[in-house]
Structure 1
Amino acid sequence: MLSINAKIGFIGTGVMGKNMIANLQKAGYPISLYTRTKEKAQGLLDNGAIWKSSIAELAKSTDVIITMVGYPADVEEVYFGQNGILENAKAGSYVVDMTTSKPSLAIEIYKQALEKNIYSMDAPVSGGDVGAINGSLAIMAGGDQHTFDSVLPLFDIVGENIIRQGGAGAGQHTKLANQITIASNMIGVCEAIAYSKRSGLDPMRVLDSITTGAAGSFSLSKLAPRMLEGDNAPGFYVKHFIKDMTIALESAEEMGLSTPGLSLSLDLYKELAEKGENDSGTQALIKLFE
């Protein structure tokens, strides 16, 4: 188990990361930060976080390094190479990648970390900005049991539904299953709203009826109201959902699995991105149905 004095390093202060860091700060953990744009982390620094000027500097001075970056290429950049985490982290330290990334990449990080006596875990999350703010994220973990047990106190601060799914890469595979589920669900939510409007119903009143029944989901209860309000602020970016669905589709194809719902959703979101909505929230999909 980690003590409250364990030094936590965090790389990535986007929509999710900044709120996860804030919750760790509230719990009393000393936090060091590195991000490409220091200005984006200013609020956290004002609240007591310590700025590190490089990944290497952060890795050398912390006991646990958590990463929440954008794309697999970003994960590779921060973990590998002379200036990366694995070349600079202390033996006996922990590295936890909470980015949604490739299962194969999580396995490679695990293998290289093991060679350096560093404990590794992939632990992507679900729950969007709401879950990050409230500390109620679902955390899907992959890695050794003893590593999971050690970092669980940190997971308990940022999440609620926390499950170790298996060895290295299992967390990423679980998150991809999550994204596959959401992909088709988002189409259904948009179609339901469009149908409600076309049939002359009050769509918000319709939501009052269907969100608590068998159709209930996070997308329906949290994102559908945003759709109706025209609120496209990103709890989760369109561009990042496209990234996740692309990884999921590639992984499914490698296993010889057909995922037609996922393929359709990916095509629709790519169309949405081409219309200039890359940095909008995923609920902006409704624009294709209006």
Structure 2
Amino acid sequence: VGGEADAYQRVRPCLEVMGTSLMHCGAAGSGQQAKLANQIAVAGVMFSVCESLLYAQEAGLDVDAWLELVVPGAGGSTAMNTLGRRILKGDFAPGFFVEHFVKDLGLCLEECRRMGLVLPGTERAEECYRMVQALGGGKDGTQSLVRTLARACGKQWKR
């Protein structure tokens, strides 16, 4: 949350009704910046999950067994454990809509230009998620990226 610290303390009980992970980030606008930084992290993690699953599939691995091997190790993550499993089930329902992610990544890139930052991973993620959207996946979950990555290679996600 961004804004004056005393105002944050006054509204905190209301915010606690909506969520449990609350943090005062600083001046007005800081909460939005924290959200955008999170979305950059999510974009990188989603690439990791989707690309590794597609690679495992195309390498002929037992992808279900591979996922069980990777989740507890250094390559594992909450996203790998939850969204990776959903991908394996063919579940592309949104936890977070692609169309909202495209909007957020666009905002990230606007802020990057303003700050003089070049974040090529974020640029590539925004481009790829715009492809997902252009192919009709705007209402799907962010994990649907795996299908677009496969399609871009002339492959098909087989689940």
Range of TM-score over shorter length: 0.7 to 0.9
Tell me the CA shift for residue 182 of structure 1: 1.0
Structure 2 spans left out of the alignment, 5+ residues:
151-156
One-letter amino acid of the counterpart of residue 253, structure 1: R
More strand per residue: 1
Counterpart among 268, 275, 286 of residue 135 in structure 2: 275
The alignment's C-alpha RMSD in Å is: 1.4
What is the TM-score with the length of structure 1 in the denominator? 0.50
* 2:98 aligned partner: 238
Q: Which runs of 5+ in 1 are unaligned?
A: 1-140
Alpha-carbon distance in 2 for matches of 1:214, 1:156: 33
3-state SS of 1:242 partner: helix
Partner of 2:154: none
Taking the aligned partners of 1:228 and 1:173, their CA distance within structure 2 comes to 33
* 2:72 pairs with 1:212: yes
Alpha-carbon deviation of 1:240? 0.3
Residue identity in the other structure for 1:166: G
- In terms of fraction of residues, the more helix-rich structure is 2
- CA deviations over 1:112-165 (Å, ceiling 9, x no partner): xxxxxxxxxxxxxxxxxxxxxxxxxxxxx1111111111222222332221111
Corresponding residue number in structure 1 for 2:147: 287
Q: How far apart, in 2, do the equivalents of 1:204 and 1:158 lie?
A: 35
Structure 1 residue 228: Cα displacement:
1.2
Aligned residue in 1 for 2:42 = 182
Q: Deviations over 1:13-70 (max 9, x none)?
A: xxxxxxxxxxxxxxxxxxxxxxxxxxxxxxxxxxxxxxxxxxxxxxxxxxxxxxxxxx
- Distance in 2, matches of 1:219 and 1:205, equals 17
Larger radius of gyration: 1
Give the letter aligned to residue 7 of structure 2: T
Q: How many residues align?
A: 150
Map 1:43-82; keep pairs closer than 5 Å. none
User: Partners of 1:161 and 1:279 in 2: how far apart?
Assistant: 26
Residues in 2 aligned to 1:243 and 1:217: alpha-carbon distance in whole angstroms? 24
What amino acid is aligned across from residue 55 of structure 2 in structure 1?
Y
Alignment match of 1:199 (pick from 59, 62, 68): 59
Change (3 A) 1:220 1:263: same
Cα displacement (A) at 1:250: 0.7
Decide which moves more: 203-212 or 169-178.
203-212
The runs of at least 4 consecutive aligned structure 1 residues that moved more than 4 Å come to: none
The whole-number CA distance in structure 2 between the counterparts of 1:184 and 1:142 is 25
Shift of 1:191: 0.9
2:77 & 2:20 partners in 1: Cα distance? 17
Distance 1:154 1:244 in 2: 25
3-state SS in 1 of match to 2:25: strand
**Partner SS state of residue 22, structure 2:** strand
Point out the more displaced range, 206-215 or 250-259: 206-215
